[in-house]
Structure 1
Amino acid sequence: MSESKILTERRGQLFLIGFNRPEKRNAADYELLTQLSLAYGEFERDAELRVAVVYAVGDHFTGGLDLADVVPHVGPDGLDVVPEGGINPWQVDGVQLSKPVVMAVQGTCLTLGIELMLASDIVVAADSATFGQVEVARGILPFGGATIRFARAAGWGNAMRWILTGDTFDASEALRMGLVQEIVPHGQQLERAVALAERIAARAPLAVQATLANARLAVREGDEAAENALGPELVRLMQSEDARIGVEAFLTRSEPRFVGR
């Protein structure tokens, strides 16, 4: 039996999801994409898991799509990589994760890798990272969310500079544009991403998820929709056991241990 192309590991309340096709620079064939979708679905369903960390084995995050393998799977409505129980990792089909994702990227990170970054919440890049949204050089368009999210994250001119030329850019440029939040020496990206994920996982999970949901609501439906949701969400959270734990920890100057209820 062949080794899985996506590795998964539960590490406390974290769920590590790893690209595992290093001999192909982690290029994504159809099997890898479906396994990735299933991993995202598993993360979403498990109430014990609070944060996902997406990374890649080897020196490169991904060389993009393995077009020779993927193209035959493209149907009249595009490419469907979500089997039953999965969630589209790029979240461009109306189904959104309710929990945060932290990414660690290194080396080559093309096309779908950038779109995973744009669909995640925090990105740590190795100083070796090189990025490219190169679909226009292959005769196709970015179909994992770059046309929707790149300009939102980086500004119109920055996005068009890179997605219309297909040119590559380095980690410093990605940081300048806001596509990544930190740069670390090559080899330290996963350790740093895990550390950030652990910081998030230590916070009240209901509050983290509500904060994430409201921020996304503002992006997708506008300020008014997010503003209207703030009051009811505050009331709901204040009635939770986690809110009681948080207040008690504040009063006793102790470290809270949230339970997600």
Structure 2
Amino acid sequence: MAVGTESYNIRSKCTLCHFSWEEDRLPIDYEKRDGVAYITLNNPAKANIFDKPTADAISEAWIDLWEDRSIRCAILTGKGDTHFCGGHNLAPRENITEEEREYLRTQRIFWPLAGTVHGQKTGVDGRMGDHYPRVWKPVIAAVNGWAAGAGLYSLLASTDIRIASAEHARFKFALLTQGWLGHGPGASLLVKQLRYIDAMKILLTDEPFDAQEALRIGLINEVVPHARLLERAEELARHICKLPPVAVRMMKEFVVRFGDLPTDQAWHVQNLINSLLIQTTTDGEEGRQAFNEKRKPNFDGKLRKRGDAWPDLSEEDAKRLDEAYRSGEF
């Protein structure tokens, strides 16, 4: 194994997951290498769908990469060149009747389990459900094939940067034609991320579209040849890994949590976060020093100790600093 590389057996981490594993298949491949976590949905024979084992395993991966401070970025993709993720497993559970299924669906509306939204677990790491990657670290999607159903409206829509295969990436909402809207937050996410008319065309026609159309409407950032898909995602990940990690993670949380606030309110929160970064992390000072010294910064993401109170200022110093403060040039 190369230096800086860790492979994780998700089976061993899911100690609270109540399901059996197929001996010849793990639901995801999860690897951590040089500050980047790689999550690959690993069920190409079944369109890399979200069955229960996959949902539980990917949830464990989000928790692990969030709590591991050496990880600064994640890449999410699917095994093979046909499906990124084909969505939820819609096959009914064998030991539940249709009448019982309707009862449970109704119960979930009015009496969801504690700590869930419509049955999906949420957490302080920012997860917006079991397998929606709203951890406060950048997640890059490498779309290797079809992103359909929850693979589009939840998994892909919850990533931050999206690279698509020119030859194989395809997209489809895939739920309206089945007569329903979906359990996840996808419809609202798409309308927030895209122009209204583009989002509504996806939602109301439920027609498939290719990578070039996804690029045109702003659903993805780049289209690359399939052979370069992972390479391009890794280029972006390596660049992010060189940036100050605390500032990067705070930037994502700020945008997600406070981006919809009125500008003056969001600006106030942004300034509070900025002050915290400057005063309580080493990276804020390192960035300024590196710029003034004309060298590359070395961001380590370390936190500072609490220091002594500022000394009392003389009348002359107080006046001088007040002038600098009011000028905004300091």
Fold shared, TM-score > 0.5 on shorter chain: yes
Quick one: structure 1 residues 238 and 84, their matched pair in 2 at CA, closer, same or farther if it must change by over 3 Å?
closer
- 1:220 and 1:242 map into 2 onto residues whose CA distance is 28
Aligned to 2:315: none
1:201 Cα deviation after fit: 1.4
1:150 Cα deviation after fit: 0.7
- 1:41 and 1:221 map into 2 onto residues whose CA distance is 28
1:248 Cα deviation after fit: 2.5
| Aligned residue runs from structure 1 range 29-178, under 5 A | 29-59=51-81, 60-68=83-91, 75=105, 76-77=107-108, 80=119, 82=121, 87=127, 88=129, 89-90=131-132, 96-114=134-152, 115-127=154-166, 128-178=168-218
Aligned to 1:182: 222
**1:23 aligned onto 2:45:** yes
1:70 Cα deviation after fit: 7.0
1:149-188 CA distance string (max 9 Å, x none): 1111112211111112211011111111111000001132
Whether contact under 8 Å (2:147, 2:156) holds in the other structure is no
- Decide which of 265, 282, 285 is 1:244's aligned counterpart: 285
**Amino acid across the alignment from 1:106:** N
Quick one: structure 1 residues 107 and 201, their matched pair in 2 at CA, closer, same or farther if it must change by over 3 Å?
same
Gaps of 5+ in 2: 1-22, 110-117, 303-330
Moved more, 158-167 or 140-149: 140-149
Whether contact under 8 Å (1:218, 1:224) holds in the other structure is no
- 1:81 and 1:31 map into 2 onto residues whose CA distance is 14
Quick one: structure 1 residues 43 and 157, their matched pair in 2 at CA, closer, same or farther if it must change by over 3 Å?
same
**Amino acid across the alignment from 1:175:** L
- 2:227 and 2:178 map into 1 onto residues whose CA distance is 30
- 2:227 and 2:265 map into 1 onto residues whose CA distance is 42
RMSD: 2.4
1:219 Cα deviation after fit: 2.9
1:50 Cα deviation after fit: 1.0
- 2:93 and 2:135 map into 1 onto residues whose CA distance is 25
1:58-95 CA distance string (max 9 Å, x none): 0121222221057969753276454999943326xxxx
Identity %: 29
Aligned to 2:269: 229
Asked which structure has the greater RCO (Cα within 8 Å, sep 6+), the reply is 1
1:98 Cα deviation after fit: 1.5
1:143 Cα deviation after fit: 2.7
- 1:194 and 1:148 map into 2 onto residues whose CA distance is 29
- 1:222 and 1:201 map into 2 onto residues whose CA distance is 31
Moved more, 165-174 or 107-116: 107-116
1:189 Cα deviation after fit: 1.4
What secondary structure sits across from 2:209 in the alignment?
A: strand
Moved more, 224-233 or 19-28: 224-233
- 1:248 and 1:69 map into 2 onto residues whose CA distance is 60
TM-score under structure 1 normalisation? 0.89
Quick one: structure 1 residues 224 and 125, their matched pair in 2 at CA, closer, same or farther if it must change by over 3 Å?
same
1:30 Cα deviation after fit: 1.4
Whether contact under 8 Å (1:34, 1:81) holds in the other structure is no
**Amino acid across the alignment from 2:132:** W
TM-score under structure 2 normalisation? 0.72
**Amino acid across the alignment from 1:133:** F
Whether contact under 8 Å (1:111, 1:133) holds in the other structure is yes
- 1:69 and 1:58 map into 2 onto residues whose CA distance is 26
What secondary structure sits across from 1:8 in the alignment?
A: strand
Quick one: structure 1 residues 2 and 222, their matched pair in 2 at CA, closer, same or farther if it must change by over 3 Å?
farther
The alignment of Structure 1 onto Structure 2 pairs a total of residues equal to 257
